[in-house]
Amino acid sequence: MRVVETVAECRELLQQARATGRTVGLVPTMGALHAGHISLMTRARAECEVVAVTIFVNPLQFGDPEDIAHYPRTLDRDVEACTEAGVDLVFAPSVLEMYPHWPAPVATTVSVVGVSEGWEGASRPGHFDGVATVVAKLFSIAGPSRAYFGEKDFQQLAVVRQMVADLSLPVEVVGCPIVRERDGLALSSRNVRLSPEERRAAVVLSRALATGRALLEGGVHYSSTLAEAMRQVVESEPLVRLDYAVAVGHQDLVAREIIEDPASVRLLIAAEVGPVRLIDNCAGLEVASTQAVPARHLERIA
């Protein structure tokens, strides 16, 4: 496995791979790798001949200086995990490599209107501009490829898909199932910041989603009813402060009062648990391609 730190090296190595007829699978990450990330690498390894993982804590998508200051950075451990997962190339650039004039403002950024504007976009202004900008850069560096993203960050996935479609980028975006702990908590690099009490409380997010889906499967087709039921579940846990719990269209992420097709719905939730912001989601109806995946044997890496 190669570990490179420059744009030029990464671009050249992946161009060489394609020149010999090999397909490239790209897994963009911010490091602090867990079993969810490993599942993306495993999928890429199964479907592509060369797998590249990017590890970069992108300052453009952090609005809160405390959040980026406390974001876990575990590069040595991450490289070991990539090696064990059969990754061929790790691209781990510095901030100055990605943004040469940093900390001066980046002159050219990417903004995706519509799907980026609600929910996380409303709660974290500028976040998705930062995501779209860095992902566009990574796609430009990597070149034609298949890019693997987890469905836990469902709105981010929608933003990336919209950007790729609008800009005609030569990248196939692949959404991969959420990986969960045995008690249902979605894996996140931020989970390590939870105290034992907060960790136990955090599972209320997945319980709220399960409540919403059960109601939807039971014939409740009013999004306000689903949202209220999910809110009540979260409010039963005093350590958790709900931001939103909503039922939206899985493509446009717009909430509709009357849900005509439950299979087209995604339930989204976000909350503060102690000092940590957590998000989660699930399909309105159980679908094989979006089922949550338990961590199981991947827990050692998580």
Write out the two tokens for 25.
């699978």
Indicate the residue type of 105. Answer: P
Q: From CA 92, how far away is CA 30, in angstroms rounded?
A: 9
CB-CB contact of 24 with 146 (8 Å): yes
Query: What's the number of CA atoms in the CB half-sphere (13 Å) around residue 218?
Result: 9
CB-CB contact of 54 with 79 (8 Å): no
Which are the contacts of 62, defined by CB distance < 8 A and separation ≥ 6?
A: 68, 71, 127, 130
The DSSP element (H or E) to which 18 belongs, if any, is helix 7-19
What is the three-class DSSP state of 272?
strand
Active-site option among 34, 37, 221, 250: 37
CB atoms within 10 A of CB 105: 9
Among this protein's residues, is 37 annotated catalytic?
Answer: yes
Query: Which of 81, 89, 188, 202 has the alpha carbon at shortest distance from 141?
Result: 89
Classify strands 171-176 and 145-150 as parallel, antiparallel or unpaired: parallel
Which are the contacts of 113, defined by CB distance < 8 A and separation ≥ 6?
A: none
Please give the positions annotated as active site: 37
